[in-house]
Structure 1
Amino acid sequence: MGLLIYGARVSEFEIEDRVLAHLQFVVATKLRRGEQFMLTWNHGVERGSGRSSIWISPYVPVHFKYHGNRPPKLNRAWLELMMDGANSPAGLHPIPEAAAGAAE
């Protein structure tokens, strides 16, 4: 289980390493372009359910910390779906990888 660490206040959000790697790619791509966007995810029942959203901006530090030491192979279809979401008014939502297979 990896961590997305956001901002100077050090907010940490646990995210599975494979999902985190795909989020890192999308976030880095958007930030390289100087683009800001909303990132929203749902909390599982084990974390009390609910949802969180953060505004991703080039002016706020972001740190990706992985539990494992081997980077996963990235799924291009999954990245494209996530990037489409990040470019939409609704913002980026980590979607299940299986959704990328259904889109092919």
Structure 2
Amino acid sequence: MGTLFYDDARFVLDDRLLAHLQIIISLKLRRGESFFLSWKSSESEGEGRNVIWIDNGVPLRMRFDESATPKINRAWAETLALSANTNNGLVITGESIEPADEPEA
């Protein structure tokens, strides 16, 4: 499990999810686009949901527990990216699509 540090808050997220979020968040912020990021809370947190406003002016850091970068599922990344462009913002969904095998070089 990795950690997303945003301003003074810490959010524990799966390393694989965090790697996908890194891609989407960096694309949006490079374009100067602020957006909401939301996800459901765990059962131990009360089964609510979290929503944070991602903006270039707020300190952001990601810490991964694993040193290896997970294989990126392009279909999942595209689904997350599309949601980031809606009024609801980037809504974290489960990875329901298997990553495609990369062609060997």
Please state how far the C-alpha of 1:75 moved relative to its aligned partner. 0.7
Structure 1 gaps of 5+ residues are none
Matching residue of 1:72: 70
Question: SS of the residue aligned with 1:25?
Answer: helix
- Tell me whether 1:18 sits opposite 2:19 in the alignment: no
Distance between the aligned counterparts of 1:16 and 1:89, measured in 2? 25
> What residue identity is the alignment partner of 1:71?
T
Query: How many angstroms does 1:61 deviate by?
Result: 1.2
**How far apart are 1:82 and its partner, in Å?**
0.3
**Cα shift at 1:47:** 2.2
Q: Which amino acid aligns with 2:40?
A: N
- Do residues 3 (structure 1) and 3 (structure 2) align? yes
TM-score, reference length from structure 1? 0.90
Q: Deviations over 1:2-36 (max 9, x none)?
A: 000001xx200000000010011100000000000
1:45 aligns with 2:43: yes
Q: What is the rounded CA distance, in whole Å, between the counterparts of 1:85 and 1:61 in structure 2? A: 23
Structure number having the greater helix percentage: 1
1:82 aligns to what? 80
* Count of paired positions: 98
The whole-number CA distance in structure 2 between the counterparts of 1:19 and 1:52 is 16
State which structure, 1 or 2, has the greater radius of gyration over its C-alpha atoms: 2
Q: Could you tell me how far apart the structure 2 residues matched to 1:55 and 1:46 are?
A: 23
Structure 2 residue runs of 5 or longer lacking an equivalent are 99-105
Deviations 1:46-94, CA, capped at 9 Å, x for gaps: 2221111100001111101011111101111001000000011110011
Q: CA RMSD in A?
A: 0.9
Q: Determine the C-alpha separation between the residues in 2 that align with 1:84 and 1:45.
A: 27
